Structure 1
Amino acid sequence: MKVKAYIPYLFIAPAVLLFSVFMVYPIISSLILSFQSSEGGVMVFTGLENYQKLFKDQIFLTALKNTFVIMIIQVPIMLFIAIVLATCLNSALLKLRGLFRVSFFLPAVTSLVAYSIIFSIMLMSDGVINQMLTGLGWDSIPWLSHPVWAKAALIIAMTWRWVGYNMVIYLAALQNIPDELYEAASMDGAGKIRQFFSITIPQLKPVILFTGILSTIGTLQLFDEPFTLTKGGPSDATLTIGMYLYQTGFRYFDFGYASTIAYVIVVLIGILTYIQFKVTGDDK
């Protein structure tokens, strides 16, 4: 009888072992590493030196500012467009809804590197976008060589990639909103716009919080798009925290300092998530 009691633990042991080796150990190891620096090729304990150095590092502060600018502009725009699209594609009056849903979701399954390369080609000085602008009589835009326009290029590319992903989440949530709410609002004389802001948005509040947290985490970890599209330029205008972490660890091989950056990102994610919960009025 006692042997049988241990059988379930034998089944979960491989999963626990793999999780411990590939998740728990690296997390603990990197935390310890964030308090160390390399001296003569040997890692030595330096206490909070890396953390003190980090907040005096102008490149890190630039990367932090860039990341927050992109997040503050891109995330609200993307989520609002996703809600609007989901509302439109949830309408029974729309024909070929399945086709439109698949079409908007397709960018979400596109390779990050592949779509970034495509956007970099389209946004070149003589790319198709500038050719269209000059064809309409407008001046071409230095998408990838101007600090402001480079950020705009990143925001446009990321919005195109992730709108469909969030749209599907909102679309699933819309299926659970009772039709009686909209019928009652219509009988009271509320138009579609009033219904959208008075019924749809409040009913989607938990899902908006969920997608907002996911998008915030994704932006703080942003790497693929700026690395492929702009290389962090021009003049570090699109350098993100994720890119700086990569450069520190795998270009300059300063793994202690890179671990410090990683844990600062973790703390930022925790703080922003807490703020989002408080702002939405969720006390749980």
Structure 2
Amino acid sequence: MVTTTSNVRPASTSGAGRPPLRRNNARRRRNAIVAWLFALPFVLVFAVFMLGPLVSSFLMSFTDFRARDIDQPLAVGFVGFDQYAELFENKQFLHSLANTAYFVVVGIPLTTALALALAVALNNGITRFRTAFRVGFYTPVVTSIVAVAVVWRFILQPDGLLNVILGAFGITGPDWLNSTTWSMPALILLAVWRNLGTLMIIFLAGLQNVSEEVLEAAAMDGANAWQRFMRITLPMLRPTLLLGTVLLSVGFLQFFEEPFVMTKGGPLDSTLSISYFTYNQFGFGKYGLASAASYVLFVAIALLSLLQFKALRSKD
């Protein structure tokens, strides 16, 4: 009897994985839908209260939109870059730009240096009362600017505490807040005091991650404390320095509360900042011009942050 070979091929096993694969894809889709449902409230709030106004203000900066009387028709015209050109022809805006640059150039290095010095002192020398010092230096950060301003106005008066201390050394202090020369340094002093605690805690956290073994090895090789700090601690602190200075720069470039509460931008616009100028333009009903000013500030923040990333990013 001759046996014939069957032409029926064995079932392919290539499709055996398809049902589990389809089930995994369906599970991923369900998980994605659930995740988006949980995120939907935030997305809606962000879109309505953040993204929408951002896009609207950007478009508004290219128009002549301004407040009008009730009996006047609302007419918004596209003017291109005219608002930006008007800004850089506005002497008050240029003055506010110079004031903001002064505030940033002096305030950021001063705050960074003092915060780093305090963080190093707390990390190396003061251990018993470290928590108390953290709380003490951080308290101004969580204190209301109004309460802070009231206290500092008394301190900076002609017969205030600061001038009393200077008088003890034979120095006659100025009328800090009513002087075109000393009003900005007074606000810088206030801003440094307010932001010192935040930066100090950030730096302290970074210092506690510096390897003690590396420092001990360098000490055994003959490196002194200054060499260990400059050659080991500071390079290892680059990411922390970058985070702290970027956060500080964003806050300092947008400084508003200090002149608004303390000096109202005076005397003679000597403490007028870009944020305060923008606020005033909205108050005057010049919405297009105010929007343009806010985006000039945005570009300044972006450029300064980019420079800091290039200078302080890790070489690795």
Please give the alpha-carbon distance, in whole angstroms, between the structure 1 residues aligned to 2:128 and 2:88.
55
Q: Counterparts of 1:107-118 in structure 2 under 5 Å?
A: 107-118=140-151
Deviations 1:177-197 (A, max 9, x none): 110122112212222222222
Please give the alpha-carbon distance, in whole angstroms, between the structure 2 residues aligned to 1:54 and 1:221.
17
Shift of 1:80: 1.0
Q: Does residue 1:198 correspond to 2:231, yes or no?
A: yes
Q: Structure 2 counterpart of 1:262, which letter?
A: S
Please give the alpha-carbon distance, in whole angstroms, between the structure 2 residues aligned to 1:39 and 1:87.
52
Q: Structure 1 counterpart of 2:109, which letter?
A: P
SS in 1 for 2:255: coil
2:214 matched residue in structure 1: 181
Q: Quick one: structure 1 residues 54 and 185, their matched pair in 2 at CA, closer, same or farther if it must change by over 3 Å? A: same
Residue from 291, 294, 297 that aligns with 1:262: 294
Shift of 1:105: 1.6
- Structure 1 residue runs of 4 or more that deviate by more than 6 Å after TM superposition: none
TM-score by length of 2: 0.84
- Greater displacement, 174-183 / 94-103: 94-103
Residue from 17, 21, 24 that aligns with 2:51: 24
2:36 matched residue in structure 1: 9
2:87 matched residue in structure 1: 54
1:226 matched residue in structure 2: 259
Q: Structure 2 counterpart of 1:104, which letter?
A: F
* Identical amino acids, percent of aligned pairs: 38
1:143 matched residue in structure 2: 176
Please give the alpha-carbon distance, in whole angstroms, between the structure 1 residues aligned to 2:310 and 2:165.
45
Q: Quick one: structure 1 residues 92 and 281, their matched pair in 2 at CA, closer, same or farther if it must change by over 3 Å? A: closer
Q: Structure 2 counterpart of 1:142, which letter?
A: D
Shift of 1:265: 0.8
SS in 2 for 1:36: coil
Please give the alpha-carbon distance, in whole angstroms, between the structure 1 residues aligned to 2:315 and 2:302.
15
SS in 1 for 2:222: coil
2:15 matched residue in structure 1: none
Please give the alpha-carbon distance, in whole angstroms, between the structure 1 residues aligned to 2:66 and 2:269.
28
| 5+ residue gaps, structure 1 | none
Q: Does residue 1:33 correspond to 2:60, yes or no?
A: yes
- Greater displacement, 178-187 / 74-83: 178-187
- Greater displacement, 56-65 / 10-19: 10-19
Asked if structure 1 preserves the Cα contact closer than 8 Å seen for 2:99 and 2:270, the reply is yes
1:80 matched residue in structure 2: 113
SS in 2 for 1:37: coil
| Largest Rg, 1 or 2 | 2
1:106 matched residue in structure 2: 139
Asked if structure 1 preserves the Cα contact closer than 8 Å seen for 2:99 and 2:273, the reply is yes
SS in 2 for 1:56: coil
SS in 2 for 1:148: coil
Shift of 1:104: 1.4
Shift of 1:15: 1.8
1:157 matched residue in structure 2: 190
Q: Structure 2 counterpart of 1:260, which letter?
A: A
Shift of 1:133: 2.3
Please give the alpha-carbon distance, in whole angstroms, between the structure 2 residues aligned to 1:219 and 1:88.
25
1:280 matched residue in structure 2: 312
Shift of 1:255: 1.1
Asked if structure 2 preserves the Cα contact closer than 8 Å seen for 1:124 and 1:144, the reply is yes
Q: Give the alignment's Cα RMSD to 1 decimal.
A: 2.1
Q: Quick one: structure 1 residues 191 and 282, their matched pair in 2 at CA, closer, same or farther if it must change by over 3 Å? A: closer
Asked if structure 2 preserves the Cα contact closer than 8 Å seen for 1:277 and 1:283, the reply is no
Shift of 1:283: 7.9
| 5+ residue gaps, structure 2 | 1-25, 69-73
Asked if structure 2 preserves the Cα contact closer than 8 Å seen for 1:123 and 1:130, the reply is yes
TM-score by length of 1: 0.93
Shift of 1:12: 2.2
